[in-house]
Amino acid sequence: MADVAVIGAQWGDEGKGKLVDWLSARAEVVVRFQGGHNAGHTLVIDGAVYKLSLLPSGIVRGGKMSVIGNGVVIDPWALVAEMDRLREQGVKISPANLVIAENACLILPLHGELDKLREEAAGKGRIGTTGRGIGPAYEDKAGRRAIKLIDLAYPETLPQKIERFLTHHNALRRGFGVPDIDKNALMKALNDIALAVLPFAGPVWKLLHEARRAGKRILFEGAQGVLLDVDHGTYPYVTSSNVVAGQAATGSGLGPRAVQYVLGIVKAYTTRVGEGPFPTELEDAVGQKLGERGHEFGTVTGRKRRCGWFDAALVRQSLRIAGVDGIALTKLDVLDTFDELKVCTGYEIEGQSYDYLPAGIDRQTHIKPVYETMEGWGDSTEGARSWADLPASAVKYVRRIEELIECPIALVSTSPERDDVILMRDPFEG
């Protein structure tokens, strides 16, 4: 049985939560390996809705070990609030089923403040971050001044670490004309939250190594999407971490051979939250209809998503960069009532043709999509669980996407419900 990594192949919001939950039935360990609480996964299980940000999707399933890897930046207050909210819904969470990498870096309140200060100062040049401090926390990690989860276990040396940390941050705050951070207040806040989060801290790399040796199936759960990857996305309108499947190894402490199958989650149309290029965006009634039918609002932020036609050129590029073995096509049912559909097959920039999204914001903002038009279908695909349940035009649409992205479709999701899936190939079978 293969260990599987699940990543988004567009700009996030592809429906990873449902698919990870569906796959977790076949896994024994579920690992988050990058991002922060800007991620948003919505799970619908037996009619109950669970909204997750930091916790792996496996946490709502009994008998699974959930792991937050070192590649994740953790807001401990947001984590505790999320655990409390899920416990109120009857989810059991303890160190027996949740382990957090002791070497994971923390997001502190000042990180979110800095995020917002920068966005406000940028004006029209803002990136469109969630304002939750993810980027500034990753900056501190790279700058070797971050406070790590394990640091909370040593209150006698924590003040020196905070001193060094604040030397940097208070200088930034003065530049923005806001007061310095009170060192003692920050120390107290960290000491207070330590009691709630330290029981979950552990050597995740060791736990996962032992799980692999024992033959346990591991599911690696990514956040955001490849087009938001800090290296390979539409920079600078990206997240602050690597989103591609290779990060599953770095962000968990396992080697690159830990992942034998990469499943890319792909929405049957395209959405994006925040600023940045979007070649197939529809700012008309069709885009409005896609948003309404798809309930396109961010799980975490509530922000309305921008909507557009499926971009095969862009997805093909993402799949190659991320080393995807097969895709899960989601939200096919959203397209049910459209008379015709368009699929982007390439681009034009100032008369030159491209079969990929070229790097550089200057070119990306002047890009024009080249479309292929396809017939829509009038019948419902919602809840379909086999090819025989799909209208002929829907099958044709799915097969054409498969051709254009040059990657096999392993699964098709036809509703938010967990079991409404057409399975062509089980990723855990490799």
From the number of C-beta atoms within 10 Å of its C-beta (0-12, 13-18, 19+), residue 66 rates as buried
Catalytic residue among 13, 115, 151, 333: 13
Nearest Cα to 202, choosing from 358, 355, 96, 353?
96
Residues forming CATH 3.40.440.10 domain(s) in the chain: 4-103+201-261
- Say what the pTM is: 0.91
Mean pLDDT of 197-210: 97
pLDDT in the model for residue 12: 87
13 is catalytic: yes
User: CA gyration radius for the chain?
Assistant: 22
The confidence band for 45, taking pLDDT boundaries of 50, 70 and 90, is confident
For residue 294, give Cα distances in angstroms to 80, 298, 390: 30, 11, 19
pLDDT in the model for residue 298: 61
41 is catalytic: yes
Catalytic residue among 37, 41, 111, 169: 41
For the domain 109-197, what is the CATH code?
1.10.300.10
pLDDT in the model for residue 430: 66
Residues forming CATH 1.10.300.10 domain(s) in the chain: 109-197
Residue-wise pLDDT tens digits, 88-140: 999 999 999 999 999 999 999 999 999 899 888 877 777 767 778 999 999 99
For the domain 4-103+201-261, what is the CATH code?
3.40.440.10
Q: Which residues pair with 8 in a beta bridge?
A: 265
Residue-wise pLDDT tens digits, 306-318: 999 999 999 999 9
Whole-number mean pLDDT of the chain?
A: 92
DSSP string, 345-404: EEEEETTEEESS--SSHHHHTT-EEEEEEEE---S--TT--SGGGS-HHHHHHHHHHHHH
pLDDT in the model for residue 57: 85
pLDDT in the model for residue 38: 75
Q: Which CATH superfamily is domain 265-429 in?
A: Adenylosuccinate Synthetase, subunit A, domain 3 (3.90.170.10)
Residues forming CATH 3.90.170.10 domain(s) in the chain: 265-429
